[in-house]
Structure 1
């Protein structure tokens, strides 16, 4: 019969948890797409006020 020590790796949360989904690395593009909005920085807003 199996002892608890032999089964302990299978009783952990890490063994039974659902694996993380694959990451979509295309979302990390550095160049903004044509339709994306980029918020102006504080420096840009201050320049517009003067």
Structure 2
């Protein structure tokens, strides 16, 4: 557990995207609107020991 206390994870905010209702496929089929969530950064980032990690 020492590794977790020494290298803190940096914040990775979630982006929320709304996909509007649309038609899809070669035979246009209706797709209802929906919401999806994905992280801002592709990979998890870690802070160096002693680096400030709290919100500014």
TM-score where L is the length of structure 1: 0.28
Higher share in helix: 1
Larger radius of gyration: 1
Higher share in strand: 2
